[in-house]
Amino acid sequence: MINVKKKREFLNKSTLGKMKRYKYLYILMIPGLLWYLIFHILPLYGILVAFEDFKPRLGITGSPWVGLKHFINLFSSQSFPRILGNTVFISALKLFCGFPMPIILALSVNSIKNKFFKKSVQTLSYLPNFLSWVVVYGISYTLFNDYDSVFRNILVGFGLNYSDPTANSETFIAFLVLSSIWKGMGMSSIIYLASLAGIDQQLYEAATVDGASKWKQLWKITIPCLMPICAIVLILSVGSLVGGDFEQIFLYQRENPSLSAISDIFETYIFRNGIRAVNFSAPAAVGIFQSIFAASLVLITNRVAKKLGYEGIW
């Protein structure tokens, strides 16, 4: 018992000693901790709305408690399977089609020797990320609409038939995926470029001395060194399978309501049945379901990554 007490006293003293030694760093943490507390922890009180028939005039504490009513209504709704299927399908396409693209872009940019050209390619690839979906929608309308778009005029000029891919149910999902990849892959490649910069150059020098070609160096050195960070990014990205780009889909649905059947996701459902209908309880239940489902996917993916020999996210 005496040894245990001494160990505890030693640990307490060492912890206090570290806090005193690094007190200025702890002081610098205070604004970040306050921000996290105010905007992430305290708002969790609002999840009670999902278990109530929330009335703004009564507030959270005064609204009648209904338990799991909104969850039962959600799961028994005829539209739930369709919305869940659309959300997972669109997000999965974006994830698995878009996940390799930043890696390929980073490898391509990293292989460029001319510094000016390299910086130019990087800058141009980052720019789409800073465009809002409203701007992207305006650009796509100018390029693809059925009336006087750039591509329509070109194809009709050659005597070919034309159909707007943003308004055609057969091509709309592909357009969503491709535009999402185009918009985000430049910024996503930054993390891979940073990882490539951290690879020990002596490995490449040794491989060159041994007569390894650039292709072999890519497969034997570069890609294996990138795999740990790829695993982490994939684990974190899997959580987005029940989410989506609300602005992107909503803008096209607003112009073509017929596309809702194939592209309705949880975010558009929440907007229609929550914000527009001034009904906060049912969408809150949807949000909790999304969070739990996403967390489960992340945990499963993390477990699989660890089984395959990667570190995972914890």
Domain 78-307 has CATH 3.40.1350.10: no
Query: Which residues, at least 6 apart from 47, have a Cβ–Cβ distance to it below 8 Å?
Result: 284, 288
Q: In this structure, what token pair is assigned to residue 274?
A: 């929550």
Q: Find residue 52's DSSP bridge partners.
A: 65
Q: Do the Cβ atoms of 87 and 297 come closer than 8 Å?
A: no
Looking at residue 34, its pLDDT comes to 93
Q: In this structure, what token pair is assigned to residue 124?
A: 């141009």
Per-position b or e across 131-149, b if 16+ CB within 10 A of its CB: eebeebbeebbeebbeeeb
Return the domain boundaries, the chain.
Answer: 78-307
Looking at residue 166, its pLDDT comes to 87
Q: Do the Cβ atoms of 179 and 140 come closer than 8 Å?
A: yes
pLDDT tens for each residue of 242-267:
777 888 888 888 888 888 888 888 88
Q: In angstroms, rounded to a whole number, what is the distance separating the alpha carbons of residues 35 and 30?
A: 9
Kindly give the confidence (pLDDT) of every residue in the chain, 314 residues in length, as a single tens digit, with 9 standing for 90 and above.
445 555 555 555 566 767 777 888 888 889 989 998 998 888 888 888 889 888 888 888 888 888 888 888 888 888 889 988 888 899 889 988 989 999 999 999 988 888 888 888 888 988 999 989 999 999 998 998 888 888 888 888 888 888 888 888 888 999 999 999 999 898 889 899 988 888 888 888 888 888 888 888 888 888 888 888 888 888 888 877 777 788 888 888 888 888 888 888 888 888 887 777 778 888 888 888 888 888 888 888 888 877 777 766 66
DSSP labels for 195-249? Answer: HHHTS-HHHHHHHHHTT--HHHHIIIIIHHHHHHHHHHHHHHHHGGGG---HHHH
Q: In angstroms, rounded to a whole number, what is the distance separating the alpha carbons of residues 227 and 312?
A: 11
Q: Which helix (H) or strand (E) holds 83?
A: helix 80-98
Predicted model pTM: 0.80
Radius of gyration over alpha carbons of the chain, in Å? Answer: 26
Q: Do the Cβ atoms of 229 and 195 come closer than 8 Å?
A: yes
Q: In angstroms, rounded to a whole number, what is the distance separating the alpha carbons of residues 222 and 226?
A: 6
Query: Which residues, at least 6 apart from 313, have a Cβ–Cβ distance to it below 8 Å?
Result: 232, 235, 236, 298, 302
Tokens 């607003």 found at: 254
Looking at residue 9, its pLDDT comes to 55
Q: Find residue 193's DSSP bridge partners.
A: none
Tokens 């408690």 found at: 65
